[in-house]
Amino acid sequence: MKNDKIVIRTTTEADWREIRELRLEMINDTPIACSETDADAMAVDETEWRRRGAQGTREGSITVAAIAENGNWVGTMASYIADPSVGPLLVGVYVNPDFRGADVGLTDTLLSAIEVWARNNGGRLTLHVHEANVNAQRAYSKRGFELTGHSAQYSLDASSREVEMTKELTPAAI
C-alpha cells in the first residue's frame, strides 16, 4: 500500500460520502483526537456531511484529502479561522495507519498544503491536542509546533484537557 501514488486535493461538497467514511475511521482509530463520538458522527445527516465537504473550498477554511491510486481516502487535514485574532486552527488531522511514518511522508505533505493556506491567512497555525496523546504532541513538535502553556477542557471528557500548540509560519519566498 505504501507504494500507491497519492493525490492531495481540496474537498468538495460531492465528497461527502468519502469524508464521512474517513471521519468514522478516524474516530475509531484515535477517539481522543476527535471532538465527536462514533455515535455522534453516525447521527450526522447528509446535509451536514455535504457542508463539511464544502469546507475544502469555502472562504476562511480549507480541507485537503489524500487519495490513494486505488481510490481509497487515506488521510485528511483541515484548517479554518474561527477567530481572526487567533488565525488558522488546524483540525481533523488523520492519516490511515498503513500510510503513517517518515518513509511515506503523507503527514508532511498534507501539513504543507495546510501551511501554504495558513501562511496567506495569518501566518500562524494553532492546534489543540489531547494531553494524553503524546505521540501526536511529539509529531507536532518535530514539525515545528510549540506548546503555548494554554489548555482547555476536552469536549468529550470534562476530567481531561487539550493543550494548545502553535507554529509561526515564515512568509513564502518570492
| Phi, psi (degrees; rounded to nearest 5) at 33 | -90, 0
Helical ranges in the chain per DSSP H: 16-29, 38-43, 46-54, 106-119, 134-142
Helical ranges in 46-87 per DSSP H: 46-54
Q: Which residue has the cell 509561526?
A: 168
d(CA 69, CA 66): 10
pLDDT tens digits along 45-71: 999 999 999 999 899 999 999 999 999
Total-model pTM: 0.91
Mean pLDDT over residues 16-36, rounded?
Answer: 94
pLDDT tens digits along 153-164: 999 999 999 999
- Up-side HSE of residue 111: CA atoms within 13 Å toward CB? 18
- The confidence score (pLDDT) of residue 4 equals 60
